[in-house]
Chains A and B, each alone.
Chain A
């Protein structure tokens, strides 16, 4: 028995791959946005909040960071609805999972960023009479944002790669498309030899684009 390479089926069903890729990017984008909100709030709680919040934030970060994403995806999609008495579809469930997952990583990033704001800048803010909230808004957050930008773009690319795990709960993204083509049309090699470079190239394009963006925001000294 010989296997004949035939890419026709891939081109025939390329829309599945194309929309799958776009869905992957969207999932990563939404998750990093929600995750950033979670991360920023918790990082601020950690840095400025009362002592007990520190323990809470540490527990969240350590718990999530030491879990396989696959387990979290299953837990949120199959586990939570059985005790919560609510329903959501697979896309919503995956976005929730990935946001909570990325939130745990982003807390650490933002915390490091807030720590990196020079003390002199905050003192300068105090000296010109800014309230703590104004200092946060106009001094600490903008400075932090510049510091964390490279880490954020790494996180985004890594999340984009993680969206491949959504295939296990039948979210129709790129890996799911490749799996669909290989099980239904038996074009196994073709499916994966197209899907893998699509991940690779998209990842590097996103990475390069974000690098350009970083350069735009970086401060000239």
Chain B
């Protein structure tokens, strides 16, 4: 117990890195995912196929293999990203594919009548998107997306495998010094739990908040 408390300052730096990796990944994947997800629903046909192929392929490969591929696989091709960047690139590639699917699901869940109604009152494509479709889709999108954020935080533990000193790695480092694995793993579990549990509670609240919406 004392050990766990004494180790906290050493884990702090790691926690910051974990949060940094997660935040960068979440923001990038949100921007890219919303863009790709919208294109899947409303873009030209060949582009749709490419995006669907991208998201189906990336989601079919384990994250750890993606991280190793980017970190070890790109330098021989002359692209040297460094461990933090390659970890973020791999995590973002994966999260983007997931966010694309969530956006697609949210957009497609909006009844086609809404689009027709928008057309009937003379709204063009962009006004229809901004005033009719997106405000409704956001309510379906948010709870699922926050669950995906917890997935990203959980996945960010994998960046320790390419030498990024995140929370997981700092736990390992402290264990390497004190040879007392159990208290430290439990502290780590508590920290991850605190982050993810608050996120999933938020997601649950939003879900009940928006549950009045039906077709």
Contact = CB atoms under 8 A, between A and B. Distances in A.
B84 interface: no
Contact of B192 (A3, A66, A78, A178): A66
Interface stretch (A38-46, A195-203, A212-220): A195-203
Q: Which 7 A-B pairs have the closest CB atoms?
A: A68-B157, A66-B196, A164-B62, A3-B76, A200-B60, A68-B154, A75-B185
Nearest to A187: B76
Contacts of B150: 66
12 contacts: A63-B193, A66-B154, A66-B195, A68-B155, A68-B157, A74-B172, A74-B181, A82-B180, A161-B62, A165-B64, A175-B65, A192-B68
B157 A182 contact: no
Chain A interface size, under 10 / 10 to 19 / 20 to 34 / 35 or more: 35 or more
Given A66-B192, A70-B168, A79 B182 contact: yes
A168 B181 CA distance: 16
Contact of B72 (A62, A80, A182): A182
Interface in A166-211: 167-168, 175, 178-179, 182, 188-189, 192-193, 195-196, 199-200, 203-204
Interface of A: 3, 62-63, 65-71, 74-75, 78-80, 82-83, 161-162, 164-165, 167-168, 175, 178-179, 182, 188-189, 192-193, 195-196, 199-200, 203-204
Given A71-B157, A83-B182, A200-B57, A162 B192 contact: no
Nearest to B60: A200
A6 B91 CA distance: 28
Interface in B168-215: 168, 171-172, 175, 180-182, 185-186, 188-189, 192-193, 195-197, 200
Nearest to A70: B157
B29 interface: no
A62 B181 contact: no
A167 B72 CA distance: 16
Interface of B: 57, 60-62, 64-66, 68-69, 72-73, 76-77, 150, 153-158, 160-161, 168, 171-172, 175, 180-182, 185-186, 188-189, 192-193, 195-197, 200
A168 B168 CA distance: 13
The listed residue with most A CB atoms (<10 A of its CB), out of B73, B193, B196, is: B73
B197 A67 contact: no
Given A66-B197, A78-B185, A82-B180, 4 more contacts: A62-B193, A66-B192, A175-B62, A188-B73
B193 A67 contact: yes
Given A66-B150, A168-B161, A175-B62, A189 B77 contact: yes
Interface of B is mostly: helix
Contacts of B171: 71
Contacts of B172: 74
A101 B86 CA distance: 28
A3 B72 CA distance: 13
Contacts of B73: 188-189, 192-193
Contact of A196 (B65, B76, B188): B65
Given A66-B193, A70-B158, A83-B182, A175 B64 contact: yes
